[in-house]
Chain A
Amino acid sequence: MNEKKQVNPIKKILESRLFSQIMPVGLLLLLVLVFGIITGGRLVSPASLKIIILQAIVVATVATGGAFIFASGNVSLSLGATTILTATIAALAYNATGSLLVMIIVAILLGVILMTASALLSTALGVRVMYVTIVMMTMFSALQQAILGGSTVALPYDLVQTLTNNGFMYIAFGIFFIVCVILFHFTDIGRSLRFIGTNNTCAEQTGISKAKYLLIAFIIAGVGCGIGALLALVRGGSIGTSTLPSLNMDCMLALVLGGMSIFGGSKSYVYSGVVGAITVVVLNQGLLMAGVDSTIIQAIRGIAFLALVAASQVRPKGLPAPEG
């Protein structure tokens, strides 16, 4: 009568919340350890660690904002293009006005406007998210090319140096990250988005408006794109059509490596973007320092990405369909 269902203990551990929280950090530490040994400690030298943080900070910022969209079970492919277009226009705004404040306001506002436009197309006008995100990605890239032509926009060297020396990047990222943690883990916004990601129908039937929360998610992601754009400008000093070409892919890879399910839901964490971004850079740097060809690293990233996505989901009996 009271027969207990046999549960595979390993499967139970793998599917537990604690494991999904610890695994990404464990993976990062393992990578640091392995590549630290292979590179004879060069990877963990202070100079190398600083480079890793600097390289990860843009991806971490954009991915942290993107986590809100991914938590709802949606995938955005236009985060990278939005960030780069925003950075281009923000740099032009600075060069036109010479005001840092104008540049910051333009970057954040434009990021929000571009992402809100994407959200409204799907929530208010009913266009499928898959189409919206692809069209926006293509259009924003073309728009950036139209604005820049073949040239680049550079910020004055003094400004870049001042902002770098004053820790602008760390302060901007820190504030954004703390706000995101609060919104995602301690307010209705994060809870509702995770609920939508877990079971869309159930969430709507309990009174959660998918359209409203998706719009909020896109707005927060837009702020992330805006701040990411500023950080990209300060880090590189200039922006061109070939700047950060794989930013979107890196954000997706970061979220997955950071322990977030690509399907969103209850096992979504806002810190995934940060842990994952550092993991991506450690993987890239470690492989480079170990002498692996940079071309091959791209393929390794692709394989790691697919393997982790597959591992993070319960394999469906049928084929995934239909929303991309």
Chain B
Amino acid sequence: MKKSSKFKDVLFTLAFPVLTWLAMEILCLLLKDKHVISTMLDIKTIIRNTGIAAVTAFALSFNLKEGRFDLSLGAQRMAGTIIGGLLAMALGLSGLWLLVFAVVFGFAFGILTGLAFISLRVPPMVLGVGMALIWEVVPYVISGGKGLNLFGVEGMGILTESWFQILVVVVMAVLVYILMNFTRLGYETKAVQGSQLIARNSGINIFRHAVECYALAGALVCIAGVLDVSFSTQMGANLGNTSNGVVTANMFAMILGSYIGEKSDSSVGILTAAFTLTIFKYGLSIMEFSDPVNSVINMLVFIGFLVFQANRHVRGLNKARKARVELAKQRKAESAAA
């Protein structure tokens, strides 16, 4: 019985990327007479984009699972990656060190954002808007408005290697899996997800927990930043609260991942969702849709999914209510007859 259920869960999880690939393959063949994946470059791009989407979704999940959306994550990503990159370059170190520095700075920005949250106690979205304005200024000032440019810099080659990107993403997925399933943080996350008030009354330090979530999110989002800059070779220091677009674009992967994860685990779910959406977006680009149109289509699908998710239990609830009414009527008729 259990084996059959597990098998169904695996099928459910695999169905998302497989069916998406199949649908995009058919559409690409019909419309453009092309395959979704035809060269090694396609595979490399899909691996990299999956990695960026998955790591960003992991970062979002730490806070979003508890109802907090950190709108400053994009600015933290930008600040951590640019400052980490500039430091690694200044010291003449390799790409691996760039990654390490970016994670450290992301962690620090995350802690500071978390501390601001528990000190000011303003709604997370509002805090995110204010903090984004502040964090965006930091890399701009430090880089003199130039941002980060890795073009032609020696020692950064490792960041573009597919095996390295896969390794980073797998390590992150395993780390998040361990954190969420075998540590105090995971236990506290589940408790706060249920009820923050009850969690607090049962002795959980929700303030420390929130700072930990912000710190981990900051560190993870900078890994995504490094994976991104490894390909594009440059990251601009943008102002005007425009840095969060790259993060919000990956919210779909996080929400879809949580849904898929109901049948397995949220880490597996997010990884699967990131892969699925990457194939979907890649398929659209093979069909020669421009990036903005691709983004609009993605958001429309996202809205459709949100509507489905918000209403998926409604039918069941209505059915149960009708059954209750029927039962009550039956009982009433029985007691009247007696």
Q: How far is the CA of A143 from the CA of B240 in the complex (A)?
A: 20
Q: Are B134 and A139 in contact (CB under 8 A)?
A: no
Q: Are B136 and A298 in contact (CB under 8 A)?
A: yes
A residues 294-324 with Cβ under 8 Å of B? 295-296, 298-299, 301-303, 305-306, 309-310, 313, 315-316, 318-324
Q: Are A249 and B126 in contact (CB under 8 A)?
A: no
Q: Are A146 and B290 in contact (CB under 8 A)?
A: yes
A residues 224-278 with Cβ under 8 Å of B? 245-246, 248-249, 252, 262-263
Q: Which of A142, A295, A299 contacts B292 (CB 8 A)?
A: A142
Q: Are A134 and B248 in contact (CB under 8 A)?
A: yes
Q: How far is the CA of A126 from the CA of B308 in the complex (A)?
A: 10
A127 at the binding interface (Cβ < 8 Å)? yes
- Summarize B's interface: helix, strand, loop or mixed: helix
Q: How far does the Cβ of A42 sit from chain B's closest Cβ, in whole Å?
A: 25
Interface magnitude class on chain B = 35 or more
Q: How far is the CA of A78 from the CA of B62 in the complex (A)?
A: 24
Q: How far is the CA of A128 from the CA of B69 in the complex (A)?
A: 12
Given that A299-B134, A321-B66 are known contacts, is A306 also in contact with B241, CB under 8 Å in the complex?
no
Q: Are A262 and B120 in contact (CB under 8 A)?
A: no
Q: How far is the CA of A112 from the CA of B197 in the complex (A)?
A: 39
Q: Are B122 and A295 in contact (CB under 8 A)?
A: no
A219 at the binding interface (Cβ < 8 Å)? no
Of B17-25, B29-37, B294-302, the one contacting chain A is: B294-302
Task: Give a binary string over B176-215; 1 marks a CB under 8 Å from any A CB, 0 the rest.
Answer: 0000000000000000000011001000001100100000
- A-B interface pairs (CB < 8 A), number: 156
A39 at the binding interface (Cβ < 8 Å)? no
Q: How far is the CA of A252 from the CA of B132 in the complex (A)?
A: 14
Binding site for B on A (CB under 8 A): 75, 77, 121, 125-128, 130-132, 134-135, 137-139, 141-146, 149, 245-246, 248-249, 252, 262-263, 295-296, 298-299, 301-303, 305-306, 309-310, 313, 315-316, 318-324
Interchain residue pairs with CB less than 8 A apart (29): A77-B71, A121-B307, A130-B125, A131-B306, A134-B248, A135-B303, A137-B248, A138-B295, A139-B299, A142-B293, A142-B296, A143-B296, A295-B145, A295-B239, A298-B136, A298-B239, A302-B131, A302-B137, A306-B120, A309-B120, A310-B121, A313-B122, A318-B200, A319-B207, A320-B122, A322-B67, A322-B68, A324-B69, A324-B124
Binding site for A on B (CB under 8 A): 66-69, 71, 116-118, 120-127, 129-134, 136-137, 140-141, 145, 196-197, 200, 206-207, 210, 239-242, 245, 248-249, 251, 255, 290-293, 295-296, 299-300, 302-303, 306-307, 310-311, 314
The 10 closest A-B pairs by CB, nearest first: A322-B67, A302-B133, A142-B295, A145-B292, A139-B299, A146-B292, A306-B130, A126-B310, A324-B125, A299-B137
